[in-house]
Every structure is written in C-alpha cells, then in structure tokens.
Structure 1
C-alpha cells in the first residue's frame, strides 16, 4: 500500500519503495522475525525496521571494512532489536560468522607479516652466504693458480 510520504507498507512496517524487496525477502525467508515485536507505535516500529536494515547492510560488508568498534556496535544494535521482540537468530549467526572471519583475517595478517619478516631475514642470510662463497671461490682460484717463473724468482 503506497502512502503519501513516499513509503510503502510491508508486513506492518512503512518502508521506502527502494527497501520493499529487502523487507519482503526477510519476512518470506524468516516469517517469525517480527511476530513478537512489542512497540505498537508505527513510527517506533519503522525506526526499528530501519535499524534492522542498517544492521543487515553492516553485516554485508567485508571483514576488513569494519573496525572492532563497529562490530561491537552492531552486536549492541542486534541485542536492542531482540529486546523489543525481533527474532533474529538467523542474523545473530551471520554477525558471529563475520566476527570470526574478522578475527581470522587479523590473525592471518599477523602471521603473514611474521612470515614476510622471516623471509626477509633468510634472504639477508642467503645474500651474506653467497657473498662469502664468492670470496672463497676467488681465494681458491688465486690459491690454485700456477706460479710463474717471475713469481718464484
């Protein structure tokens, strides 16, 4: 149902036309999402729906695009939505997966930096050994050369 303010009513929430498909997909896949929502005031319900859509947008980001603080804020936002009656176990699982990916990514990055440091150190050692080998080869060539008459007399 189209409203004069540029919104459409979908499953009891007024959302912008651009959000209709998203809201429909949420309720088609997870029909229990808002069955126990306590706020009856339409503006409050709409604000919570906007929070839910914002939270989904955050969870869609790549782990490296989010800070730890943003993830904590997302967790707080999720808890607030659950407290007012939203059933969001499905979203909680996705947020937990994102947090795990972020931690793995950070650990992997630290390990990659550590390995890079080890490789650089090994390259330095190898360069020093190659230089030492070349010096030894030069001395071996010099030591193994035949002496000429001029060298002896």
Structure 2
C-alpha cells in the first residue's frame, strides 16, 4: 500500500479516517480492485467479474453502513446531552417557581 500512496497521495488522504473499521474496509476494497486489475483479461471469466463486482458492492455498502452507524451514535450522544440540559433547566425553573418572595411571607 505504501507504493500506491507514494504514487497517488490523494488516495492516502482518504485513508486517514478516524474510524479504523472504515479505513480497513477502504483498504481491502482498494487491494481487491488492484488484484483484479492485475489479472489478464484471459484469466478473468464473467463469473469472476460478477463476483468481484458483487464483493465490491458489498464492501461499499458495508462501509457506508458503518459510517451511518457512527453518525447515528454521535447524534444519539448529542441528543442525550441536550436532554440532560433540558432536565437541568426544568429543575432550575421549578426551583425558581417554588421560592417564596418577600410578599409571600409578609
């Protein structure tokens, strides 16, 4: 892979993802494509091409699904944080309502 990244640095930037699963899937996909392209056309049958296409399509879907799961996890965390802030504000508002003013006591 280092040779590929040296020749094509723009590809290397795509592999600097934070999620190691996505990075692994991208690298597997790229290596699979390179292996397929290195074979001569006589070595590849229609079944080979169909299988390669299906595998690549599966990897792309897998990668997209993982990315969506990560985004969903982040959104759930943000929602949880906002819900905690809402509860805190509710408690403050309730506390302010329950406090007596000078006029209530006198």
TM-score of the two chains, using structure 2 as the length reference: 0.56
* Structure-to-structure mapping, 1:128-147, within 5 angstroms: 128-139=88-99, 142-143=100-101, 147=105
For residue 98 of structure 1, what is the aligned residue in structure 2? 58
Question: Which structure: larger Rg?
Answer: 1
Gaps of 5+ in 1: 1-62, 148-152
Offset at residue 117 of structure 1 (A): 3.0
Offset at residue 108 of structure 1 (A): 0.4
In structure 2, relative to structure 1, the CA distance for the partners of 1:73 and 1:84 (3 Å cut) is farther
Distance 1:91 1:134 in 2: 63
Distance 2:26 2:60 in 1: 12
In structure 2, relative to structure 1, the CA distance for the partners of 1:134 and 1:75 (3 Å cut) is same
Distance 2:104 2:69 in 1: 57
* Structure with the bigger percentage of strand: 1
Distance 1:126 1:68 in 2: 40
* Structure-to-structure mapping, 1:34-53, within 5 angstroms: none
TM-score of the two chains, using structure 1 as the length reference: 0.42
Distance 1:72 1:113 in 2: 27
Which ranges of 4 or more aligned residues in structure 1 deviate by more than 4 Å? Answer: none
Count of residues in Structure 1 that have an aligned counterpart in Structure 2:
83
Gaps of 5+ in 2: 1-20
1:119 to 67, 76, 79: 79
How large is the RMSD of aligned CA atoms in angstroms?
A: 3.1
